Amino acid sequence: MTQQSLQPAIAPCGLNCEKCFAHVNGQIRKTSLRLQDLLGNFHNYARRFETLLDEPVLGKYADFKKVLDYFASENCRGCRQEQCKLFKDCGVRPCHQEKQVDYCYQCDEFPCDRTNFDEPLYTAWIKINEIMRTSGVKKYYQITCERPATLNPRFHNSHLSNKLFPKCQGICNR
């Protein structure tokens, strides 16, 4: 696995596109497709089971199915292939194309104010790029593959996080 081969997965900002629910090759999409297959035509039976089991939650199956169908759809091929679909105002892709860098940390203006990220994402963007700069893109990618897509920051810095995701210890908790 080379830095070049990781580029389709890691966006110029450093986010792992494959961890995103919208990515065509992401685990969330693959799992959603599998769950659709397993559920089959359950929508035909949800109301019946709501009554038989006295489970009102099954009456909301149609809403669940809409979300599942959305997760299973092909939404995004990654930020290197097209403009980010989650952060429509993202300034990273056009900047990375203009500057001709693979990742933001490689730019002589990093960190900058061209991202259009909100404060939490901006802070994470700086941290992610510093990790890639100091530990390497390959190591960072391995870490992101091991971790859930989103983590509560308190959990992220906890002893339990280090036990569950040992590759992150000493890198993610900086």
Q: Give the pLDDT score at 158.
A: 45
**65 token code pair:** 């199915």
Q: Where are the domains of the chain?
A: 1-17+80-174, 25-73
What pLDDT is attached to residue 148? 63
CB 78 within 8 A of CB 53: no
Q: Is 9 within 8 Å of 76 (Cβ atoms)?
A: no
- Per-residue pLDDT tens digits for 21-66: 888 888 899 999 999 999 999 999 999 999 999 999 999 999 999 9
**What pLDDT digit, counting tens, does each position of 58-101 carry?**
999 999 999 999 999 977 888 888 877 778 889 999 999 999 99
Crossing angle for the helix pair 27-39 and 61-72, to the nearest 10 degrees: 130
Please state, rounded to an integer, the average pLDDT across all residues of the chain: 83
DSSP for the chain reads --HHHHTTTB-TTS-BGGGSTTBTTSHHHHHHHHHHHHHTTGGGTHHHHHHHTT-GGGGGHHHHHHHHHHHHS--B--TTTS--SSSTT--HHHHHHHHT-SSGGGSTT-S-S-S---HHHHHHHHHHHHHHHHH-HHHHHHHHHHS-S---HHHHTSHHHHHH-GGGTTTTT-
Whether the link from the prior residue into 111 is cis, omega within 30° of 0, is yes
Contact 166, 142 (CB under 8 A): no
Stated pTM of the model: 0.72
C-alpha distances out from residue 6 to 40, 97, 120, 161, 166, Å: 35, 17, 25, 25, 21
